[in-house]
Amino acid sequence: MPKEIEMKTIRTDIRNLAIIAHVDHGKTTLVDGLLRQASVFHEKKIIRDRIMDSNELERERGITILSKNTAIEINDPRTDQLVKINIVDTPGHADFGGEVERVLNMVDGVLLLVDAAEGPRPQTRFVLQKALELNHKVIVVINKVDRKLANSEQVLNDTFDLFIELGASEEQANFPVVYAIATQHRAGYTADVGPDLQPLFETILNSIPAPVVDVDLPLQMLVTSLDYDNFRGATAIGRIVSGEVAIGEQVAYITADGKTVPGEITYLYDYQGLKRQEIELARAGEIVAVAGLEGITIGDTICNPETPVPLPRIRVEAPTVRMSFGVNTSPFFGREGVWKTSRKLRERLFREIRSNLALRVEDTGSADTLLVSGRGELHLAILIETMRREGYEFHVSRPEVILQTSPSGEVLEPFEEVRIEIHSEDIGAVMESLNNRQGVLQDMRESSTGTVLLTFLAPTRGILGFRHHFLTMTKGTGVLNTSFNKYAPLAGSVEVRSHGSLVAYETGTATTFGLKNAEGRGILFISPGSKVYGGMVVGENKRPDDIEINVCKTKHLTNMRNNIREIDQRLVTPREMSLDQYIEYLADDELLEVTPHNLRIRKRILDHGERMKLNKKETENALP
């Protein structure tokens, strides 16, 4: 039974924890192991790997995008009682740091996973800093100790140094350590791991503090996540800080502007395994989901209507990058999209910010265009990809950084810490490219895997569009990680795109003959039979300027027999690009047309004559 101390209750039957780490250090795989060992699944049930990555985009990209809740029950041998462990799986990519920041408010401790070969990485620093600021208990799990180049002792020392560097207290720095091979569902107190994850379970029970709550106080629950259901409406997820809540209870929620809105709890759930189960009553210390409160948002406090006292709202770091989202204005408007009007676009974007706390949406001078700000290119790219799969048709601009002004009036821009792992033969090209982008080398050392680790401090605008160029320079073998560092004075001019675009001259269907003529000018993005329109970008020019190309041109037919080599024209395979690569390619005068079936780059001004007039005017204005 819960233990009473000084009018408060210690919920010894509950533990609330989050799993945090850098991307690809094994968080979701470890959750798989915890669920399996806790016998959440039937023995004969076939379970796929990374079962918590339920989102289609997550499985395609191999990363966690959204934080998710699950729960298991294990026996505590000290008290011989079942203990419910609420587990929150969090994203590992820096662009989704807002997800980590908000869910850490629900838990009392964290498992910090660190790769036994790679050691602490940029996102490791970010998530650990947030956990220490909230005074959470940290269990360090050194994962992948079976890797060929694993160096668990050095990684443990590096992790300890990171704790000290982040200002951890003596108690925080005295963290328990567990070694694991998450893919094999094994853990141990040394690198020689045992047959299962029992050592990790024991460490969680012994080290993660049980919630200390006051059940007798009025209800207070902070909403940290939102879910939507066509039948139940908005579902608010959070931890009950005090009091209790039941189905049918009259409650209120306090909004960001201090307004108190009454409501009724129509559904109440807790988590068991991967499912939500309906319950009648929940008490302080538990993580639950409630439905029936329309209009509620993340950060609101659900409370007793007679004593409405708000909890501190969740604060996340501000966005650093923005893009404009607008109604598609190309000649192909309406051919593929289901939702294509400005009203539908506005509704969808403003609905997104209710659950995506790190996102911002602002109006512009145009009714058809909105400004969307996020943590990085990937953060915005995931939103774009999600919307196109939902049937939306729109266009987006090239990403740009968000500038700030210091109290003294100086213009500041965001800087990122850039961590790069490459082979020694690629050092020269990478360093030259980052120097041209105002990157400053901070550290250079050899890793335990034989590669070279470089750390740069570079302006965010210098990193925009750099990833694809980086992978080309390193032949796909380089690893690039970035994380926001600070705002600092403008660093000066950065290297812009060195190639121009091949632009379609007229509307029609691309032909082999027309593309063959264009092929000598650069790299094509389309193949024969593709529908094009005037002003659409069909390839990359070898030179810095743009060139108009007639890719719809057909060969004049005559009654003269042609040489067989002239008839059988072969084209080089066009470059296939992902959404991320399309966004990186964009120039300031270009837009990306996004539809459910196609991605097309186009010029902002489609008419060639109008573009020439504007370029001439800009050139004249630039002259002294």
Question: Is pLDDT of 151 > 50?
Answer: yes
Give the per-residue pLDDT at 6. Answer: 47
Q: What is the Cα–Cα distance from 315 to 35, expressed in whole angstroms?
A: 31
Give just the sign of the alpha carbon dihedral 485, 488, 494, 500.
Answer: positive
Tell me the average pLDDT across 538-551.
92
Q: What is the pTM of this model?
A: 0.85
Does residue 433 form part of some domain? yes
Does residue 279 form part of some domain? yes
Give the per-residue pLDDT at 622. Answer: 65
Give just the sign of the alpha carbon dihedral 144, 145, 148, 154.
Answer: positive
Contact 146, 117 (CB under 8 A): no
Contact 113, 232 (CB under 8 A): no
Domain span at residue 466 reads: 404-489
Residue 588 carries which side chain, given as an amino acid letter? D
Q: What are 526's strand-pairing partners?
A: none
Question: Is pLDDT of 569 > 70?
Answer: no
| pLDDT band per the 50, 70, 90 thresholds, residue 404 | very high
Tell me the average pLDDT across 221-236.
84
Give the per-residue pLDDT at 275. Answer: 82
CB < 8 Å & 24+ apart, contacts of 353-356 = 354/226, 354/297, 354/298, 355/225, 355/226, 355/227, 355/228, 355/298, 356/98, 356/383
Max avg pLDDT among 60-69, 104-113, 474-483: 104-113
Torsion, CA 333, CA 336, CA 342, CA 345, rounded to 10 = -150
Picking from 101, 61, 98, the residue whose alpha carbon sits closest to that of residue 382 is: 61
8-10 and 360-363: which strand pairing? unpaired
Q: What is the Cα–Cα distance from 128 to 166, expressed in whole angstroms?
A: 8
Domain end position, chosen among 303, 324, 340? 303
| pLDDT band per the 50, 70, 90 thresholds, residue 601 | very high
Counted residue by residue, the chain has a size of: 624
Question: Is pLDDT of 381 > 80?
Answer: yes
Max avg pLDDT among 447-456, 566-575, 596-605: 596-605
Per-residue pLDDT of 419-462, as tens digits, reads: 898 998 999 999 999 999 999 999 998 877 778 989 999 999 99
- CA 151 remoteness from chain centre: 29
List Cβ neighbours of 165 (8 Å cut-off, separation of 6 or more). Answer: none
Q: What is the Cα–Cα distance from 331 to 507, expressed in whole angstroms?
A: 9
| pLDDT band per the 50, 70, 90 thresholds, residue 4 | very low
Per-residue pLDDT of 352-364, as tens digits, reads: 888 888 899 999 9
Count CB atoms within 10 A of the CB of residue 560: 5
Question: Is pLDDT of 231 > 50?
Answer: yes
Does residue 62 form part of some domain? yes
Q: Are residues 178 and 113 in the same domain?
A: yes
Q: Are residues 32 and 172 in the same domain?
A: yes
Q: How far is CA 106 from CA 39, 70, 225, 272, in A?
A: 25, 13, 10, 17
Q: Are residues 152 and 33 in the same domain?
A: yes
Q: What is the Cα–Cα distance from 513 to 44, expressed in whole angstroms?
A: 58
**What is the share, in percent, of the chain residues with pLDDT greater than 70?**
93
Give the per-residue pLDDT at 564. Answer: 45
Helix axes 27-37, 198-207, angle to 10 degrees: 100
Contact 239, 285 (CB under 8 A): yes
Does residue 318 form part of some domain? no
| pLDDT band per the 50, 70, 90 thresholds, residue 193 | very high
Which CATH number goes with the domain that contains 256?
2.40.30.10
Give the per-residue pLDDT at 558. Answer: 60
Question: Is pLDDT of 320 > 60?
Answer: yes
Count CB atoms within 10 A of the CB of residue 418: 26
Q: Are residues 66 and 124 in the same domain?
A: yes
Which CATH number goes with the domain that contains 188?
3.40.50.300
Tell me the average pLDDT across 399-419.
92
Half-sphere exposure of 130 (CA within 13 A, CB side): 27
**What is the share, in percent, of the chain residues with pLDDT greater than 90?**
51
Average pLDDT, the chain: 87
Question: Is pLDDT of 529 > 70?
Answer: yes
Give the per-residue pLDDT at 348. Answer: 94
Question: Is pLDDT of 559 > 70?
Answer: no
Does residue 181 form part of some domain? yes
Per-residue pLDDT of 233-259, as tens digits, reads: 788 999 999 999 999 999 999 998 899
Count CB atoms within 10 A of the CB of residue 538: 24
Question: Is pLDDT of 40 > 80?
Answer: no
Q: Are residues 505 and 446 in the same domain?
A: no
Does residue 190 form part of some domain? yes
